[in-house]
Structure 1
C-alpha cells in the first residue's frame, strides 16, 4: 500500500462525475474542473489559480510559474535561465540586494527550506510560503511575486557577484551522475535541443557572458502571457483575486514578442544502444527506453478512464518486477517497468534495473520477459482484484482527508496543470464519486486488452548500460547490449501462476492482556496505560488527520549488548528478518494487505530496539497484529536470506568508487580513531561475518520478550475502540527476563586537533568539514541554545561565505546534544567549495564562530531564528508525526513529555548571552577534526 504510483493517485482523482451519486457517466463528456479552484486569465494573458485551503492554518503557498526554461536559451545564454532565477533574490524594484531574504527570514520564512526556486528545461518556478497571521505579510508576498515577474534589477555588481555563486553551484553539481547524464542525454532525447541545454549551463558562458545576455532572457521570456500565479492556502479567494489583479494586471507583453519555441523530440529511426562507464560509478544499471511519445490530450472521461487503466497495469507490472528481487538468485537488485514522463509533454515506457553479480544479461532477460509475459498473457483476476482494492482504499483515504490535505499538494497539481496544459483535476469529492463507479467496473478483459496494446514488443528502443569501468562482470559491448534485448523478446515465456494466499494474519491471542492502570493527562491530551504484562502504552487521539494513526515502540538495549564478534549480526538482524518476513513472506504479506493502509517494521539500533508503524483509522487492528507478529513469529527463510545478503554485497561492491562515500568513510574512521565498533559504509567483507542463525537468535533475544517496552500511538482513533485492541495484541506479548538497559561500550571521538586531507574524485571540487565534539550534560534548555547557535551560523554562512565572499553555493551547520549513552555533543560544519579556496573557507567559518564567541550573535539573527521556530512549531503541533517523535523521544530518554506545550515560551527565553555561552561551550578550538576532500589530480600535482 505504501508504493502506490502517483499516476494511479492522479488518475483516480481526475476521474470524477460532477455530482456524487449521479447516473452513469457519459464517457464522451468533458471532465469538469474542481469547483473550489478559481481560475482566470488577465487581459495581458497571465493565468491564475486560487484555492482556499486551511491546512496548514495561517499559511499561504504562493507560486510564480514562468513557462520558460533552459530550452529557450540562445547560444550565448546557456545557463542564464537558471542565472536569472538567482538574480531574483539579488535586488528587485522593492527589495535591495539581500534585503528580500532578510525580510522573509524576519517573518519566519527560511531560505532554502521554504523560500526557493527551480529552473528546468521548460519552466522556472518560484516558491514562496507566507504566514498569513498578519495582513501585511500577504500583501508583501504578492509584491515579491510581482517584483520577480518584472522588477529584477540586474545591477552589474550583483551579476558579477552572483557569477561566483552559480559557478560554485555548477561545481557542486559536478560528478559521476552529471557526467553520465551528459553522455546519455543526446541519445535518450534523440538529438533534440534539450540535450545541449542542461539548466545548470556551461562554465565558459557563466564566467564570461555579457550583462545584457541575462537581461535579454528576462525581457524575452518573463512576460504575462507565459506566466501563472498560484495561490493556495488560508486566504479568501476574492481577496487573492484582487491582489493578483492589482499586482499583475498592469504588466505588459513586449510589442513584438518572440515566439515561444516548442521543442520536439523526434522519433527514433532504429533501435540503438549505449554503454557509459565511469570509475566513480557506485552502481551498475541497465535501462530499456522504448518509443518516446507525446502525452495524450486528456479531456473526456474516456481519456481519463484509459489513463486510470494504464496506471492499474503499471501497478500490477511493478508488483511482478518487485517479486523477481525476492528470489534466492535475483536477476537484479531492484527494478521497475512502466510508463514514465520524460520531459514536459512527453512520456515513454521504460524498464530499468540495478544490476547484481550476474550483470546485464539476466537483468535484461528478466525485465523484457516479464513485460512480454504481461503483454501476451495479461494479468490474473486476483492481481486485478488486489489492484482495485489498493486504488479504492487510496481514493477513499483522500476523500476522508479532503479537509486536511496540505496546501503544498494542491499547489503542485495546479502548477502542473499550467505547465502541461492539462485540465485541472475535478477535485477530491467528485474524484471519489467517479472512482467508485469506474474502478469496480474495470473488467479483466478490458485491462488485458489494453496491456496487449500498451506494453511494447519488437519496437524501436534505446538500451543503455551505465556502470563502473571495473564492473564484474564487465560491461557488454553496445552491439551485445542490443542483441540481449532483442533475444529476450523472442524467448518463450509461460503464463504466471497465482499462489493461494492465507485470508487471515492471525487469530486473536489465546490469552489477551488487560489494562491494569490508566493515567489521563488532560493538558497533554494523552492516556497512559499499563498493561497486564507490564508494557506501557501512551495514547494520544488527535483530529489533525481524519485517517492516520502512527505508532512507535522503544526499549533500551540494542546492539550495545553484543560484543565485537556479533557486531554485524546485531547490526543487520532486523533487516534480515524484514527481508524474510514475519509469519508470511514479504510479497505474500503485501498481497494479503491489499486494500489496507498499514505498515509495521522492527529495528535494532545502537542503544535500543523497537518498532515503527502506521495505518488508517480502520486498519489499527491490522497494524497491532503486525507488531505482535514481529515479536512472536519472525520467519527463517534461507532463500530470502541469501537474496538479501547477495544484494547487500552487490551494493557494497562498488560503493567505494564514490568519492563522497570514501570521504564519509575516512571521516568516520578519523573521528573515532578507527574504532571498529563504529558503523561505517558497508564493505563486501562485512557480510562474511554474518550467520543467519546467529542474526535470528539476536533478533529473538531482543524481541522474544516485551519487558519494559513503551508504545506510543498518535492519530485519528477512538480511545474506547483502541484500548481493547492494544490490550489484546500488546498486552499478550510474552514477557520474560531479558537485558533491558543499554551498555556504554566506551566509543568516544578522538581528542585534540586533527586535520586530514583525502584525495578522491575526478571533479575539480572540494569539501571542508569541521566536527567539534565533547562531553556535556544534556538539558532541553541547553539543546535549544545549541540549536539557536547552529541556525544563526547557517544565516551567517549564507550571508558571508556565499553572498559576501562568493566562496560557496551552500553550506550547513548542524548541532546535536545527546543524553545516551553519556552526555555528549557534536557541532558539524559541511562546506563544499573550490579546491583552491579550502583554506579561505575554513578560516572564514572559524572566524564566524569566534565572532559569536567574542561578541555574541546579532539580535536580529536570533529574532529570525525564533520567528522561524514559532511558525514551524505552530504547524508541527497540528501534525501527528511531530507528536509521535516527541512523545517517543521523551519516554525513551526519561524527559518530561509536557515540555512540548511550553516550547514557544522556552524558545522565546533564549537570549544572545545563552547563544554566546553555547558558542564557547560547544566550539573548542583545541578539540576538533578538520577533514578536506580534494580531487585526485591535486595529490598528483603535489
Structure 2
C-alpha cells in the first residue's frame, strides 16, 4: 500500500492566481552559448558528483518528416549506433561497455514528434574525448551503410511490433483520441512498416543532411567538468560543422478535441475504469504568469486526487484507485482524471467520482486543503537539499524534459522565491476559482469496460455519470482534522550493540529483533526503513498461500490503532509517509519511506501493524474484492495465460510461485489471514530491520527501542514449512507453449534449468550478475544485431533469492514465423556460455557491475532496497560496503567455471512459445 506524496512531487504541486508576465530568468549556474555555426551548448559544471552526463538534442522529429519519410527521424537515430567515422558498426556500444556503461541506462537515444535526443552517462570525465568523437560523428559523420540499413530494418519492425497492440492501454487510447484530428495522427515517430521497409541509405541520408545541421542542435553537459575545457571540446569537435539552411521548425499545437463520450474495451490486465479528460489549452511557460498557472493546475490536480482517493477507498479497497495529473499531447495540456474500480461496482464508483468533482468545482475547497499545497519558509532547506542531491543524469534529464516542453531551467533561489511569492497570495477563494475554471468545461469521457460487462449498460451508466457531472455540485462532508494513532503499548530496550563501521550501527533489541542503522548524510530529510526476513510464501502450508496475497491489504483496510482505513490513509498522507509490503516466494518485508520529522510516527505505526492487527470481515471483503479483480484480470491477459500454461509448469505449479486462483482468494477466511500474519511475525522468525537516514545513532536507537523493542512476538498458529521449489519440475516436456498472442506477434523463450546451487553467498550473487550481463550482450549481438529478429531480446536469472537451484531464461518478442529461429539462436548462446567465458568478457561485465554499484549511498531508497535484500537473505552486507574489493576478489576463472556449471550439458533446456491464436507451435 503506497500512500505517498514525495518531496519531489510536492515541488511540482504549487500554484498561483496571478503574477506579472515578465520573462523568466534562466538558472545562472547553466552556461549557455552558441558557436558561429549556430550550435547551442548548455553546460552545468559541478564537482559534487563524479559522473558526467551528456545529451545531444536535435530539433528534428516525426513532424519534420514528409509523407514518404515516415519513421525516418527514428531510423536515423538507430543508425547512429551502426557505424560512423570513429566507430565501426557497434563500436560505440563496445567502447561504452569497456568503461562500465550499459546500453539502455547509460547509452541510448529516443525520438519524439519534434526532437531526437542522444544519451550518454559516463562514469567520470576521463572519457570525454570519445564522447565528443561520437557526437561529432552523429553531427556529420554517420556511415548510413546500405547493408547496415537493411539489417536494422528487422530491429525497427520488431520495435514497431512490440509497440502495437490490438488492445491498447487506456492512456495510449486516450492519447490517440486526443491527436486523432491533428498532424500527429499520421506522424507516429516509429513510422509505418511499408515506410521502414522501403527506406534506403540514400533516402535516409537526405533526411539526415536536411535536419542534422548545427543551428538545429543543442549539446548539454552536466557533471564534474571545467566549463572552459568543455567549450574547447565543443569548438574542436563541432566548430567545423558547416551551418545549414534549414530553419527551425514552428511549434505545432494540436486542435482542441471535441467533448464526447467514448466506450472502449479495456485491457484485461488493467481492469474496468472511467476517465475524464479536460482541455487546459496550449502548453505555455514562457513567463511568470504562465508558469504560475501551470503550478496551480498541478496543485489543484493534487487536491482532486487526494479527495477522490479518500472517497473511493471504501468502494475499491485501493488507496491508489484514482490517477489524476496534468499531461501533454501535441503541445496541449490536459487534466486527466481516471478512476479504477471493480466492474461490478462501476455505477457506485462513477457516481462518487462525478459528484466529488462537481462538489469541488461548485463548492470549492477549504483552507486546510489549500495549506496542503502551500509552500512555507522551511521549504527552502528541503528544496536546496533536493537540488544538492541531484545526480548529473537526473539534472540533465530535468533540463532535457524542460527544453522539450519549451520551459526555462530555473535557478534554485529564483524558483524558491517564485514559489514562496505565490504562497503569500494563496487563499481558498483563488484556488476554488481555479478549480471551477478547470472543471467547468465539458470533458471527453472514456469508459473502459471488461468482457463480463454489458456494453450497453456501461454506456448508459457513463452517460448518466456525464449528466450528473454537469449538474450543480453539492457540499460533501468534511474530511476531519489531523489523525492520531493509539499509543504504543509496550517499550523495549537495547540489550547489545556493535559498530560495524563508522556509519553502520547494529543493535539487538530486548525482543530479539536486530536493527541495522546506516547513517547517510546524503539521505538528507529522508528515512527509509525495511522490516523483514527470508521465508515469504514458501513458509506457508498450501491452503494459506492465497491468504498471503490478502493479508497486507486486509491489515490496512480493517483499520488500526483506533483509526479506520480512511484515517490510516490520511495519517500517512499528512506525514508524507508511505508503507508497502513485499511478499515473494522466499522473502517477506514491510517497507517504510518517511521524513525524519515523522520517523517516530512511522515506527509507531509499524509497531501496531506487527503487534496488534485488527482484522475485520469488512476489511477482508474489501481486500478480496481488490485482489480478486486484479488476479482475474491478470489470468485473463496474454501474460497470465502464458504463465498458467507454461511458466508455472517449470516449478510444477508450486503454489508459492504463482498467483492464486480467484476461487482460492474467495475461500480465504479471517483465521487464514491472521495465521499468515502470525507466521511472518512470530517468535520463530529472525526478523531484522534495516534503516538508512541522516539522524544521530542515539536518536535512532531510542526510537527503535521504544517502538519496535516492545513488540511481543507470538507463537505461530500453524507449523512453518518450506515449500519452496527444491527442484525444477521433474517430468517437463522439452517444448512448452500456448497460442494466446495477438495476430502477427510471437514470443520465443528458452529456459535453462540447472542443478547448480543458487546464491550461497554474496560473491556468488555478484558472479551471477556478471554472467547476466555477459549473456545479455551475447543475446543482443546474436538475435538483434546479427539476425535482426527482435528489438529487445533479453536474458535474466530465472531463479529467485534463496531458491535452491539456479535457472536462466532467454526471451524475445518476434514475428511468429521466426519464433523457432529465435530459440535456435538462444540455444546457440547457451552452448557458447557452456564453454565458459573469456577473460575479456568477464572483465568488461565486471567493470559494468562495478560502475552500476558505485554511489549506493546517493539514493536512500535504492540503498535500503539492496542492503536489506542482502541482509535478510543471509549474505551479509560486507560485500556491499566495499564493492570494489568484492569484485576485485572474483577472478575471470571463477566466472567462467560457474558459466560452465550452469549452462553445461547437465542442465535441462526447455523451449517455450506463445503464438497467435490458431497458430501451431513451431516444434
TM-score (norm 1): 0.90
Q: Unpaired runs of 5+ in structure 2?
A: none
* 1:362-398 Cα distance to aligned partner (Å, 9 max, x none): 5544333322211100012222223337x88776433
User: Hey, what's the Cα distance between the residues in 2 that align with 1:883 and 1:941?
Assistant: 45
1:412 aligns with 2:397: yes
One of 104, 125, 128 as aligned partner of 2:117? 125
* Kept in 2: contact 1:288–1:350 (CA 8 A): yes
1:632–1:704 contact (8 Å) kept in structure 2: no
Change (3 A) 1:244 1:506: farther
1:785 aligns with 2:767: yes
Structural mapping, 1:108-507, within 5 Å: 108-132=100-124, 134=126, 137-178=127-168, 187-255=177-245, 257=246, 260-268=249-257, 270-277=258-265, 283-291=271-279, 293-300=281-288, 302-328=289-315, 334-343=321-330, 345-358=331-344, 361-388=347-374, 396-427=381-412, 429-439=413-423, 441-457=425-441, 459=442, 461-468=443-450, 470-474=451-455, 480=460, 483-507=463-487
CA distance in 2 between counterparts of 1:746 and 1:86 reads 44
Distance in 2 (alpha carbons) for counterparts of 1:719 and 1:643? 40
Matches within 5 A, 1:664-683: 664-675=643-654, 677-681=655-659, 683=661
Residues 744, 48 of structure 1: CA spacing in aligned structure 2 closer, same or farther, 3 A cutoff? same
Distance 1:535 1:181 in 2: 45
- Give the root-mean-square deviation of aligned CA atoms: 3.3
Taking the aligned partners of 2:576 and 2:318, their CA distance within structure 1 comes to 30
Partners of 2:579 and 2:291 in 1: CA distance: 34
Q: 2:737 aligns with which of 735, 754, 757?
A: 757
Query: What TM-score results when the alignment is normalised by the length of structure 2?
Result: 0.91
C-alpha distance in 1 between matches for 2:550 and 2:320: 18
Q: Where does residue 93 of structure 1 map in the other structure?
A: 85
In structure 2, C-alpha distance between the alignment counterparts of 1:802 and 1:656, rounded to whole Å: 30
Q: What's the counterpart of residue 613 of structure 1?
A: 592
* C-alpha distance in 2 between matches for 1:703 and 1:848: 44
Cα separation, partners in 2 of 1:230 and 1:476, compared to 1, 3 Å: farther
> Is contact 1:753-1:927 (8 Å) kept?
no
Following superposition, the deviation at residue 602 of structure 1 comes to: 4.5
Distance 1:78 1:711, change over 3 A: same
1:770 corresponding residue in structure 2: 750
Which of 920, 924, 928 matches 2:909? 928
Deviation at 1:412, TM superposition (A): 2.0
Identify the range of structure 1 (82-91 vs 679-688) with the bigger mean alpha-carbon deviation: 679-688
1:309–1:538 Cα change, 3 Å: same
Match of 1:526 in 2: 504
- The match for 1:102 is 94
Distance 1:392 1:776, change over 3 A: farther
Equivalent residues in 2 for 1:727-738, closer than 5 Å:
727-738=705-716
Q: Which residue of 2 aligns with 1:875?
A: 855
How far apart are 1:178 and its partner, in Å? 4.8
C-alpha distance after superposition, 1:319-344 (max 9, x if no partner): 1121232124689983334533223x
Shift of 1:588: 2.3
Within 5 A, what are the aligned runs for 1:911-926?
Answer: 911-925=891-905
Give unpaired runs (5+ residues) of structure 1. 16-24
Asked if 2 retains the 8 angstrom alpha-carbon contact of 1:767 and 1:833, the reply is yes
Separation of aligned partners in 1, 2:240 and 2:718? 69
Provide the secondary structure at the position in 1 that maps to 2:393: helix
1:687 equivalent in alignment to 2:672: no
Change (3 A) 1:750 1:198: same
In 2, the alpha carbon distance for the partners of 1:5 and 1:491 equals 36
Structure 2 counterpart SS, 1:764? coil
The verdict on how the C-alpha distance between 1:573 and 1:440 changes in structure 2, with shifts beyond 3 A counting, is: farther
In 2, Cα distance between equivalents of 1:332 and 1:888? 26
CA–CA separation in structure 2 for the residues paired with 1:367 and 1:708: 45
Aligned pair count reads: 915
**CA distance in 2 between partners of 1:397 and 1:734 (Å):** 37
Tell me, yes or no, if the aligned pair for 1:368 and 1:485 is still in contact at 8 Å.
yes
* 2:638 maps to 1:659: yes
8 Å Cα contact 2:750-2:911 kept in structure 1: yes
CA distance in 2, matches of 1:7, 1:226: 32
Aligned to 1:21: none
Shift of 1:111: 0.7
Cross-structure match for 1:829: 810
CA, structure 1 residues 432+637, in 2 after alignment: closer, same or farther (shift >3 Å)? Answer: farther
Specify the alignment match of 2:44 in structure 1: 51
Evaluate the alpha carbon distance shift between residue 587 and residue 229 of structure 1 in structure 2; reply closer, same or farther with a 3 A threshold: farther
CA distance in 2, matches of 1:540, 1:885: 13
- Contact 2:681 2:687 survives alignment (8 Å): no
Shift of 1:267: 2.9
- Could you report, residue by residue, the CA deviation over 1:858-911 in whole angstroms, capped at 9, with x for unpaired residues? 333222112112222222255444543454344433334323244323423444
Q: Among 613, 626, 641, which residue is 1:647 paired with?
A: 626
Distance 1:487 1:566, change over 3 A: same
Q: Alpha-carbon deviation of 1:655?
A: 3.0
Mapped to 2, the partners of 1:246 and 1:528 lie a distance apart of: 54
Q: Give the drift of 1:840.
A: 1.7
Note if contact 2:540-2:722 (Cα within 8 Å) is conserved in structure 1: no
CA deviations on 1:500-532 (whole Å, 9 max, x unpaired) are: 34553343x465222222211237x42211222
Secondary structure at 2:440's aligned position in 1?
Answer: coil
The separation in 2 between residues aligned to 1:37 and 1:150, in whole angstroms, is 27
Q: CA 1:638/1:35 → structure 2, altered by over 3 Å: closer, same or farther?
A: farther
Displacement of 1:192 after TM fit?
Answer: 0.6
Match of 1:853 in 2: 834
From 586, 610, 613, the equivalent of 1:631 is: 610
Deviates more, 1:556-565 or 1:157-166: 556-565
| Secondary structure in structure 2 of the residue aligned to 1:34 | coil
Distance (Å, rounded) in 1 between the aligned partners of 2:266 and 2:687: 49
Task: Find the residue that maps to 1:582 and give its secondary structure.
Answer: coil
Residue 776 of structure 1: CA displacement?
Answer: 3.3
